[in-house]
Amino acid sequence: MMTLCMTFLLFTACEKRQAGENLYDHTAQLIPDNRKTGSLYSINTSCGHTASQCPNGCIHTPSGSFHVDCQGWGNTCAKVASLYVVSVSGGLYTATTQDSTDLTSEEFFNMPARSLYTGLDNSGAPRWLNIPAQFSIRDSVTRLFTFNGVYFTQQQVYKNQ
């Protein structure tokens, strides 16, 4: 009986999770900050895949296709970063990384579409920080990435795949 239980635990513990199984795997936690405008978030998400999942190259440029691990679509490469989110206009925001080592050491980051759960708003409704898919080039002076067209909703917009 003990062997049967251990075997069951072994198989269930090693079972691969399906993408999207837990909506709250992709989060943005508000961090207290003294700046007068904007909000600072610590994000935790998955962005990317290994080269074996992309044999012909997944990043396409005029000079050809290539692959960079842990960038682009997918759900196998965990990323953490601090983002400073500032209102632009009409419910749209920009989000800028706060450390030059956030996300990648490359000069670009191929941000997949992500909905990051931020918790409950003041009325008790869920709140999501949504970042549309975009190719961001590191700023040559600050060495940071900026994402445009960021917005908040009460429902998850992107599937985070």
Summarize pLDDT for 118-153 with one digit per residue, the tens. Answer: 999 999 999 999 999 999 999 999 999 999 999 999
The reply to whether 156 falls in a domain is no
Q: State the average pLDDT over residues 30-57.
A: 84
- Please answer whether residues 147 and 82 qualify as being in contact, where contact means their C-beta atoms are separated by less than 8 angstroms: no
- Please answer whether residues 26 and 156 qualify as being in contact, where contact means their C-beta atoms are separated by less than 8 angstroms: no
Distances (CA, A) of 27 to 83, 106, 160: 12, 23, 11
The reply to whether 8 falls in a domain is no
Name the residue range of residue 60's domain.
29-112+137-150
- Please answer whether residues 70 and 79 qualify as being in contact, where contact means their C-beta atoms are separated by less than 8 angstroms: yes
The reply to whether 45 falls in a domain is yes
The reply to whether 19 falls in a domain is no
Burial class (CB in 10 A: 0-12, 13-18, 19+), 32: exposed
The reply to whether 131 falls in a domain is no
The reply to whether 128 falls in a domain is no
* Number of domains the chain is built from: 1
The reply to whether 74 falls in a domain is yes
What pLDDT, on a 0 to 100 scale, did the predictor assign at position 87?
A: 97
The reply to whether 40 falls in a domain is yes
In angstroms, the CA 124 to CA 127 distance is 9
pTM of the model: 0.74
Least confident of 7-11, 47-51, 142-146, 153-157: 7-11
Burial class (CB in 10 A: 0-12, 13-18, 19+), 94: middle
DSSP element (H, E) containing 3: helix 2-13
